[in-house]
Amino acid sequence: MTEDEDAEEQTILEWAKNYAKTHHWILNSDEKKLGVVIRGLARNKKKFGEQYCPCRLRSGDKEKDAAIICPCIYHEDEIGKDGSCHCRLYFRKDAPPE
C-alpha cells in the first residue's frame, strides 16, 4: 500500500466515524471487515473519482451511480430495517455486529 492510499483510507475512516456519530450509529466493530469496506471505498474513489459503494455494482452511468456514492440512498432504510447497511459499515447501536 502506498502512503497516498493509506492517507485516503484514513480520511475515509475518519469521515465514516464522524458520519456514524452524527446519526447515533456505530461502525462495524470487526476491524477486518471494517477495513475491507474502507479499502473498497478508497479504491473506488481513486479509480472512479467517487467513493462508490464497494458492495454494489456500478452501472457506469454517472447519474445513476450517484445513488451508490457512500452514503448511498439506501443506507438509512437498511439500517432502520436490518440494523446495518448492505456493506455492514454502519450499524444501529441496538443491533451491533455479532
Catalogue the E-assigned strands of the chain.
25-27, 90-92
What does the block give as the cell for 95? 443491533
**Amino acid, res. 75:** H
Q: For residues 6 and 15, which CB has a smaller minimum distance to ligand SF4 in the complex?
A: 15
What does the block give as the cell for 9? 483510507
Q: For residues 3 and 95, which CB has a smaller minimum distance to ligand SF4 in the complex?
A: 95
Q: From the CB of 89, what's the least distance to ligand SF4, in Å?
A: 4
Residues that bind ligand SF4 (CB under 6 A): 37, 53, 55, 68, 70-72, 75, 85-87, 89-90
Q: From the CB of 79, what's the least distance to ligand SF4, in Å?
A: 8
The whole-angstrom separation of Cα 54 and Cα 24 is 23
